[in-house]
Chain A
Amino acid sequence: MMDATRYRAPQASDLSMVDLDELVAIFHRASGITHLVASPVPELLIALSGRWLTLDGIEQEFELVDGNRAGLASIMDELVAAGLIERRA
């Protein structure tokens, strides 16, 4: 299945990330909203920082562990809903 949907995260300078043991607090300057996230969200935001990637592109960079493409897609959906990721069909 070919899926051309692309995703992009804000530039690193638009996010402030603070490690809180298992969690990471992310302050999104554009919205003024702070998000508490856990792995794999910080890794995804860094990988997608300022550049568009498809799910295929993400899988070229990362080996999905303890989950599959559907799990990755649902995380991306949640990040889009939170305003941390842009999606373009």
Chain B
Amino acid sequence: MSDPTDHDQPAQPQRRRALRIGAAGAVAVVSIRPAMAQAYGSVLTCEIPVPDPGQAGSYIDPSGKVVPAGTRGAYAPPGRPLKGEDIRRALASGGNLPGVDYERSRAYLKYVQNLRSGTTGFTCFASLQMPRR
């Protein structure tokens, strides 16, 4: 063959095969973009602020309710939003959130479980509930 950069040419030229071109203007390719793959990625990377930004600084009591800062028996909020993957793992295994002791983890996780549709972090929490293979 004419192109000297081709390495994979068969030594003997083969008989030409038929290539059916078909109707002009027909669509040859339908592409399916990976929307689901992106949604899957967001499950691993989404975060839930505790409590929601409108109540930043408030404490979380052992039942997961948001209470005024300094309330006796309640816990100061985590210093940063909780990661979806950490929450998923703690809920699935019954273990603690990373770097958080047992009682405090229970309170934060109850807060997350109490989230309702429309509240900050609910979409992330809902995505954690999707069955995973």
Does B11 touch A at the CB level, under 8 Å?
A: no
Least Cβ distance of B31 to chain A in Å? 5
A contact residues around B7 at 8 Å (CB): 51
Which 8 pairs of residues, A with B, have the shortest CB-CB distance?
A67-B21, A62-B19, A71-B21, A32-B34, A36-B30, A34-B32, A82-B29, A63-B16
Does B133 touch A at the CB level, under 8 Å?
A: no
Bound CA span A66–B24, Å:
10
Does A37 touch B at the CB level, under 8 Å?
A: yes
A contact residues around B18 at 8 Å (CB): 62-63, 65
Give the number of chain B interface residues (Cβ < 8 Å).
28
Interface residues in B1-47 by Cβ distance below 8 A to A read 1-3, 5-8, 13-14, 16-25, 27-34, 37
Least Cβ distance of B53 to chain A in Å? 33
Give the number of chain A interface residues (Cβ < 8 Å).
38
The answer to whether A65 and B19 touch across the interface, beta carbons within 8 angstroms, is yes
Contact of A82 among B8, B24, B31 (CB under 8 A): B31
Does A79 touch B at the CB level, under 8 Å?
A: yes
The answer to whether A43 and B19 touch across the interface, beta carbons within 8 angstroms, is yes
A contact residues around B23 at 8 Å (CB): 67
The answer to whether B17 and A71 touch across the interface, beta carbons within 8 angstroms, is no
The answer to whether A35 and B30 touch across the interface, beta carbons within 8 angstroms, is yes
A contact residues around B31 at 8 Å (CB): 33-36, 82-83
Question: 0/1 per residue, B66-101, Cβ < 8 Å to A?
Answer: 000000000000000000000000000000000000
Does A44 touch B at the CB level, under 8 Å?
A: yes
The answer to whether A67 and B2 touch across the interface, beta carbons within 8 angstroms, is no
> Most chain-A CB neighbours within 10 Å: which of B7, B20, B21, B23?
B21
Contact of A57 among B2, B14, B32, B34 (CB under 8 A): B2
Least Cβ distance of A29 to chain B in Å? 11
Least Cβ distance of B4 to chain A in Å? 11
Least Cβ distance of B87 to chain A in Å? 26
